[in-house]
Amino acid sequence: MKKLTKKATVLLVVTLALALSLSFMSTAWADDRNPMEPYETSTAAITKLLQVPIGTDFKGLYFNFKAEKVSVNELDDPKDKDMMPIMGNPPSGVDTYGLVEIKFDATNPGTLDITENGINTYFLESGNLLSEEDFETYGAGVYEYKITESQPDSFANNPPEHVLTYSKAEYRIIYYVESDNTSVHGVKIKYIGVVKIKKEDGTTIPPEEQFKVDPTPGPDSGDDPIKKYSQMTFTNTYVHTNGGTDPKTPGDWTLAVSKTVAGTYGDTNTYFEFSLTLNVPSLLPNVPVLKYKAFVVEKDSASDTYKVVTLPANYSGSISGDGSIEFTNGSELSFKLKNGQYLVFIDTPVGTLYKIKEEGVASYIPNASITIDNKKGNTEVGEKATSLTIPDGANSIYKNEVNVYVGEGSKNSADFINDRGGVTPTGLNVNDVPFIGMVALAAGALIAYVVLKLRRRKIYSN
């Protein structure tokens, strides 16, 4: 048999080593998935992506992730799984899985990632899931876990007050742990591989379409220089209202439109016409067919309480027995208010965007201010006898939707004031005064000329 050259021997050894390593990696993945090269990293984290409407307070929300033991060195008997470290904190009396928590609070408020169409997306990472210290007792090997989201009882998820959707995504994560005498723990995490098995809606991804993700915590980690966070992500959405049930109680109002007439010559009995369009957060189920009730109320000065007063003078359409007007999400609806009246909602979700227009009325100057989350904005002053739209690109203050939405606080309102002052008592337009003066002067001159002529004639006739 012909001997191999030294160069050929080295090439053969390298080839065999490569083949063995590929075989080892391909068999390491369960469920007959396609082999995928893991990332050369020793750290992995879970990322929570939380989508909320603009203005939403989500501090205090927390999320748990169930990390189940799958196999060690492809062995999945209970006695084999006992030879695996638990990822996260195990529930009392449980040793087959652990729970990893991600909590949004004052210390960890999350980071704003993107804003689109009035929806903010925040991200927050967990800590490192497993370290070399965790494997010290168990030694070298290949450890596989299944990670899904668990639903904690962080609050009552009862629509419409609270609507929280959980992620149904599923990942498999494998740790490749080597022996390392130079490490204080005797082992080294050489690689970590992660594959996404199910989508956010729980749909299983076919094996040929499954893809690896980089679990390395951000920022600027892994092989993507602009990666902000671990790509092992779970996406949740959260929407809630901050109102009540009684339109006669200001504290229950989620949105109010008020009308005030000012000025010496302002008529407090005049009805001013408005048109309003609501756009509730797209994260809500059944959008865009949601409907919301509004009531026209005014204050009873004798009792110092509010009462529902919705009449045909306020709305020409159908008025329900409880005095409510029905608004359909995304559709414009017209109504009228007079001095001291409010159009109020009690169930619009936080983050609802709205656009409101007041039609122009002769002799009145319109102005409006927007209050969001108890914070009143500056006053937008319109032109006399012209309509005023909030928001509008031509405005000086309320130009776009980020200025006008329903916030968290007990007061969210659009307050319109129409001023009619300085009316000329004669009914003449002050702009015409110079011309009228000229006519009067000319008439006076003509009269003086005629009188002078008559006097001359009288003198000569004598």
| pTM for the predicted model, two decimal places | 0.80
pLDDT for the residue 29: 43
Q: So what's the pLDDT on residue 227?
A: 84
pLDDT of residue 31: 39
Would you state the pLDDT for residue 452? 54
The per-residue pLDDT string of the chain (462 residues; one tens digit each, 9 = 90 and over) reads: 444 454 444 444 434 443 444 344 434 443 343 446 899 999 999 999 999 999 999 998 889 999 999 999 999 999 999 999 999 999 988 999 999 999 999 999 999 999 998 999 999 999 999 999 999 999 999 999 999 999 765 555 555 678 888 999 999 999 999 999 999 999 999 999 999 999 999 999 999 999 999 999 988 554 566 789 999 999 999 998 888 899 999 999 999 999 999 999 999 999 999 999 999 998 987 777 789 999 999 999 888 899 999 999 999 999 999 999 999 999 999 999 999 999 999 999 999 999 999 999 999 999 999 999 999 999 999 999 999 999 999 999 999 988 899 999 889 999 999 999 865 554 444 444 454 455 455 555 556 554 455 555 555 455
Q: Give the pLDDT of residue 425.
A: 52
Q: Give the pLDDT score at 68.
A: 98
Say how far apart CA 379 and CA 279 lie, in whole Å: 23
Per the listing, tokens 């002078």 go with 452
Domains of the chain (ranges plus CATH)? 25-240 (no CATH), 250-419 (2.60.40.1140)
List the Cα angle 367/372/374 in 5-degree steps.
105
